Amino acid sequence: MIVLKLGGSAITDKERPETLDGDALGRAADAISAALDGGDAEDLVIVHGGGSFGHHNASEHGVTTAAGTRDAEAVADIHGAMKTLNQFVLQRLLERDVNAVPVHPFSTARRDADGALALPTGQIETMLAEGFVPVLHGDLVAHAGAGATVVSGDELVAALARDLEADRVGLCSTVPGVLDDEDAVIDCITSFEDVEAVLGASDATDVTGGMAGKVRTLLDLEAPASIFGLEDVEPFLAGEEPGTKIEFEAS
């Protein structure tokens, strides 16, 4: 069972609000379709991030993973932007005969007062058993005591990987992996402290922590995880370990 995140920065033009990178999304969809046709990735769950959809909207409304909103119009704006991008992703997958179906986290997940995420996965297991490819996305979630806050695709990936006991986790982004201070791809990360100095936020508007947030989330995960660029989606799905491998940091 594989959980693959298509990073928002990889499939959109993150500098321009609500602008799709149609070529990049098409290439990712080609790789997914080829892997499914070839028998790789039998059970696949896809999650996509926001990129230029969602982050700008959340930022305008002052909403982050911790700062919430109780304004239904702000919810409609941020969640609506993510649903628009989800439609594009589904469309590109369906055009390539991938049996993709949408799952909107706002309708199913929640956070408690401490910010802990609860994401039901029973419906996702049934979708997989019935031959569907569930496609989730970074979103808003109802948050006890805070209204609605952002949940990143990375956080969803971690929750899905734990609950569904994923064999492998892959995060495709706009970079070929986590880069060191000379812009070389780091092969393997086993501790946050080892790489903290080179980890930054995203270059573009981003309310969920950029690369630092990604590495921190993946280090908590027992399943093997990799961060790689768009060109490595196909090798990853075929069982290779491109880009940067993030190994479980036992605490």
Ligand X SMILES: C=C(C)CCOP(=O)(O)O
Nearest approach in angstroms of CB 131 to ligand X is: 26
Q: Is the dihedral of CA 138, 169, 221, 173 positive or negative?
A: negative
User: Among 40, 24, 22, which Cα is nearest to 229's?
Assistant: 24
- Radius of gyration, alpha carbons of the chain: 17
Binding ligand ATP (rule: CB under 6 A), the pick from 35, 119, 211, 233 is: 211
Contact 26, 96 (CB under 8 A): no
Judge whether 14 is annotated as a binding position: no
Amino acid at site 181: D
- The reply to whether 81 sits near ligand ATP by the rule CB under 6 A is no
Q: Is residue 159 within 8 Å of 117, Cβ to Cβ?
A: yes
Candidates 180, 179, 160, 184; CA nearest to 170 is: 160
Give the shortest CB-234-to-ligand X separation in angstroms: 22
Q: Which stretch binds ligand ATP (CB under 6 A): 5-13, 62-70, 74-82, 111-119?
A: 5-13
Rule CB under 6 A: say whether 170 interacts with ligand ATP: no
Which of 50-58, 77-85, 94-102, 106-114 is the region at the interface with ligand ATP (rule: CB under 6 A)? 50-58
Shortest CA distance to 51 belongs to which of 24, 11, 84, 90?
A: 11
Shortest CB 154 distance to ligand X, Å: 6
Q: Please report, as ranges, the residues that interact with ligand ATP according to CB under 6 A.
A: 7-10, 49-51, 55, 153, 173-175, 178-179, 198-200, 202-203, 206, 208, 210-211
Interface residues with ligand X (CB under 6 A) are 8, 49-50, 54-55, 58, 78, 82, 138-140, 150, 152-154, 207-208
